[in-house]
């Protein structure tokens, strides 16, 4: 996920909740196989749709507060925030076509 910026607990409110455009946050961990599967797909989506949607990633091991407050219990979890609220939550690794379908209307 080299192309997607990381967000921390400390930056979450400013970068995600107060953003004027929708923000997709990928909650992931280094040890998570499905997270590594979905990473290149998110890189592609970021390259194709980054002007409409901000893509960020959050390491749940390094930033436990935010995932806990949004009840992220399984990873990867992809949440889309708009106007400070979760408008879409996708749990588990999905192929690109399935992610695009889930994100319809947002990108």
Buried b / exposed e over 12-33, threshold 16 CB at 10 Å, is: beebbeebeebbbbbbbeeebe
Let me know if 46 is a catalytic residue.
no
Catalytic residue among 35, 45, 72, 99: 35
The single residue of 32, 58, 60, 99 carrying the catalytic annotation is: 32
- What's 73-100 look like in SS3? CCCCEEEEEECCEEEEEEECCCCHHHHH
Number of CB atoms found within 10 A of residue 101's CB: 10
- In the residue annotation, 32 being an active-site residue is answered as yes
Q: CA distances (Å), 9 to each of 16, 58, 91, 94, 102, in order? A: 10, 8, 20, 25, 26
The residues assigned a catalytic role are: 32, 35
């Amino acid at each position: 996920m080299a192309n997607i910026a990381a967000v921390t607990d400390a930056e979450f409110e400013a970068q995600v909740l107060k953003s004027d455009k929708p923000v997709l946050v990928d909650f992931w961990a280094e040890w998570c196989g499905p997270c590594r599967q979905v990473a290149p797909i998110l890189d592609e989506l970021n390259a194709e749709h980054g002007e409409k949607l901000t893509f960020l990633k959050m390491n749940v091991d390094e930033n436990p507060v935010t995932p806990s407050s949004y009840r992220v219990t399984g990873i990867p979890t992809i949440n889309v925030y708009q106007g400070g609220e979760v408008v879409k939550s996708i749990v588990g690794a999905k192929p690109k076509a399935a992610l695009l379908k889930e994100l319809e209307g947002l990108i």
